Structure 1
Amino acid sequence: MKSLPRLILDIAEQLPEGEVLRSGRFLHLGSRSAVQRALARLVVEQKLFRVDRGFYVAAVDGRFGRRSPAPTRVVRSLANALGEMIVEHGAHSANKLGLSTQIPVRCIFLSTGRSRELHIGKKVVSIRHAPKWLMALGETGAGDAVRALESLGPLWAADAVPKLHERLPEGEWSALVRARGTYPSWIWNAIQAHMGG
């Protein structure tokens, strides 16, 4: 008969990379304390990573040995598990949209939920609670544009808006314009100045 840690690991290894597991998922295999001990043992053996209280993720066996899963995959899975929206930080959006050449070094995300730090192997991922206006357009091109502008700040917004208009699909640009009441006036002023109004 397989041991409890082996049973847990068998389940974890069948999931896609970065899929988070709640400790409560394994209570059908044993008592709460036995499950906690088994999870702790798997973490010590680096077969699982404890990313947040009660959430674990399996290590990935790659060509060069065992590694931690990609932070973006873990964050997306955690967002689904918690029912939160978690998106990339505006600095990443600015780089992705070609508004900045700086590549963010730190792994930072914005969330509709509480702020927290995840520890995924040796990587620390920061998730920061964001104001509603910054998340209002969700995981869309228009939402990325608002977060990019917020990251660049009022001094650079006027220079960035024409580039955004050029790079965003027309539907995303229209969504950005229609949502003018959701974000600070300095963002709308930059958009309005570009449109000649």
Structure 2
Amino acid sequence: MPSLPRRIREHAAALPEGAPICPNALLHLGNRPAVDQALSRLARRGQLLRVCPGVYVRPMETRFGMRAPAVGAVIIALAELWGETIVPCGGAAANVLGLTTQVPVRLVYLTSGPSRTLQLYAMTVRLRHSPRWQLVAPGRPAGLVVRALAWLGPGEVEQNLDAIQRGLSAADLAELAAARATLPSWIATPVSALVARG
């Protein structure tokens, strides 16, 4: 019978890129102490990456060597695993919308769960707990607008409305309008003006 580390490696190889590997999901392969020990051993050998306590991912093999799975794939999988909303930070949203040419130096995501730090080889990804209003419309343009405006701050919202409006469809504007009730007034007021201009 194959060893427990080998069976865990085979299990991990069948998972999609970025899928989390957690001890409790491997109890069909062995008891908890043995699974924990095997995961630690595989991480020390570089055959798994320990992303945060109790969560591992499979590194991806390329012709240039091993690399971490794509951050986006890991974030989507962890959001599903933890039942949380996790979205890119406001600086990244502003960059996507063309409101800034700055690219965030640190990888920061906003989450409905507790703040955490993820480690993917040398790459550190920070998950920062944020209020519910900053997490609206995950994965959609209306959500990007809210997070970008929050990042810009009260003093710069008005002057960026034209650039924001150009990139939004009628459906995006409607979704943004629907989110106004949860937004702070310094964002809700200019968003109302944007919606009125249509």
The question of a shared fold, defined as TM-score above 0.5 by the shorter chain, is answered with yes
Structure 1 position 110 matched with structure 2 position 97? no
SS at match of 2:146: helix
The residue identity in structure 2 corresponding to 1:166 is R
Q: Tell me, yes or no, if the aligned pair for 1:158 and 1:191 is still in contact at 8 Å.
A: no
Structure 1 portions without partners, runs of 5+: none
TM-score, structure 2 length as denominator? 0.94
SS at match of 1:95: helix
Structure 2 matches for 1:122-133, cutoff 5 A? Answer: 122-133=122-133
The residue identity in structure 1 corresponding to 2:132 is K
Structure 2 matches for 1:1-197, cutoff 5 A? Answer: 1-194=1-194, 195=196
TM-score, structure 1 length as denominator? 0.94
Shift of 1:193: 4.5
SS at match of 1:177: helix
Shift of 1:120: 1.4
The residue identity in structure 1 corresponding to 2:40 is A
The residue identity in structure 1 corresponding to 2:33 is S
Partners of 1:28 and 1:5 lie apart in 2 by 13
The residue identity in structure 2 corresponding to 1:146 is V
Partners of 1:160 and 1:119 lie apart in 2 by 34
The residue identity in structure 2 corresponding to 1:27 is L
The residue identity in structure 2 corresponding to 1:40 is S
Q: How many residues align?
A: 196
Q: How big is each residue's C-alpha offset from its partner over 1:33-70, in whole Å with a ceiling of 9 and x where there is no partner?
A: 11111101100011101112211100110121011111
The residue identity in structure 2 corresponding to 1:177 is A
Aligned-residue CA RMSD in angstroms? Answer: 1.4
Q: Percent same amino acid at aligned positions?
A: 41
Structure 2 portions without partners, runs of 5+: none
